[in-house]
Amino acid sequence: MMQAILSRLHSHKCATLKVPSNTVTRSFFLSCDLFVKRKCRTGRNRGEIVSNLRAEDKEPNDFGVEFSFANRATRKSSNRANTRLSNRIRGSGAVLVPHPDKAEKGGDDACLVLEYHGVFGIMDGVGGWADEGVDPATYSSTFAKKLAAAVLAGEKDPCGMITYAHAQTRVRGSSTACVATVSPRDGLTLVRIVNLGDGGAVVVRGKKVVFTTAAQQHQFNCPFQLGCPRYYPETDSVDDVQRYDVSVSRGDVLIMGSDGLWDNVFLFEVARVCEELLMMEGSAQEIAESVAGKAFTNSKDEHYDSPFTQEARGKGYGVGRSEHARGDRLVGGKMDDIAVLVVIFDSS
């Protein structure tokens, strides 16, 4: 009964907005000017961590910049890499864990890791479009491609990147978006984050979360989202994005995630994982995998009092009368797709 109630919560929709129910993930690597889709690997546990999404830059070329796949191992940047950022970013890594029911499809989300340019992003494709025969991955993947095009064209401001991507993504569908840029500023390392929807980012320093974005929802489980106005007149606007500037220090960790992460892991749990792995000199990729693995484990736990079910109870959702009479309450993880992107900062 509990799972049936949670299932109804997951598929909740607004009257006018295409609301994500259970979204999954798709990764894209940029090689020269082309995105190449990476299919998820499936194993005995179809919900296992399926890919390392890190794309590592080489020197600029005729295409603007060349990227090589680094999912087999994390490699040092080229000697000709952007030294202004290479001595500020110790490493980055990303992982996608699809909803087990959609692992073979590969997912609806896109993740962008352009370390050379100091640009990182997660787009959460809105799963509700599948009910209309539209592949939710089409919009998020196209949006990610246009984001990268804006970066390669020289755009430095994440708001400008999202504005360009929204204007150029002329396909059916919609997506949330969280984009972060890293740049030197007055001797400090500045992270500029723009977020729209229920994804988001946090900065962990030692044992504490020192910064977090706020989720944007029209109502419970109905996030702000961007779509092409021609096909989706109800789209939110780029003007709705929230913008944050955060100064980071050596050892700070930026963690970006889709709602599949934040619905299943509390902030103190994320900070604990970061602290433990950094003490063991763990890499950004190892942190991403550990955080994503914890979120996935929690999502399957019917007895875990997750952030999602706590919010649901606060919005008035609950169990049926018979369950309430027995003293039961709405608990459990939220089975969903989980996207995690991690950046560890070094000295200025």
pLDDT at 320: 61
CATH number of the domain where residue 208 is located: 3.60.40.10
Give me the half-sphere count of Cα atoms (radius 13 Å) on the Cβ side of residue 150.
27
| Sign of the torsion angle spanned by Cα atoms 224, 153, 95, 42 | positive
Q: Does residue 64 sit within a domain?
A: yes
**Of all residues in the chain, what percent are helix, strand and coil, respectively (each to 5)?**
30, 30, 40
The token pair at 342 is 């991690």
Q: Which residues of the chain have pLDDT under 50?
A: 1-81, 325
pLDDT at 107: 78
pLDDT at 222: 87
Contacts by residues 321-326 (CB-CB < 8 Å, ≥ 24 positions apart): 323/1, 323/2
pLDDT at 336: 87
Distance, in Å, from the CA atom of 103 to the CA atom of 97, rounded to the nearest integer, reads 8
Q: Does residue 81 sit within a domain?
A: no
Contact criterion met (CB below 8 Å) for 66 and 325: no
Q: Does residue 235 sit within a domain?
A: yes
Number of independent structural domains in the chain? 1
Which residue do the tokens 């590969």 mark? 106
Instruction: Indicate the average pLDDT of the chain.
Output: 78
pLDDT at 348: 57
DSSP 76: P
Q: Does residue 187 sit within a domain?
A: yes
Contact criterion met (CB below 8 Å) for 119 and 180: yes
pTM of the entire structure? 0.78
Which residue do the tokens 């980012």 mark? 201
Q: Does residue 207 sit within a domain?
A: yes
| Alpha carbon separation from 161 to 108, 232, 316 (Å, rounded) | 21, 21, 38
| Alpha carbon separation from 270 to 181, 202, 253, 262, 266 (Å, rounded) | 21, 9, 10, 10, 7
Distance, in Å, from the CA atom of 215 to the CA atom of 195, rounded to the nearest integer, reads 8
Q: Does residue 18 sit within a domain?
A: no
Distance, in Å, from the CA atom of 109 to the CA atom of 113, rounded to the nearest integer, reads 14
pLDDT at 82: 62
Q: Does residue 78 sit within a domain?
A: no
Domain of residue 228 covers 2-12+24-72+89-345
Q: Does residue 84 sit within a domain?
A: no
The token pair at 288 is 């991403």
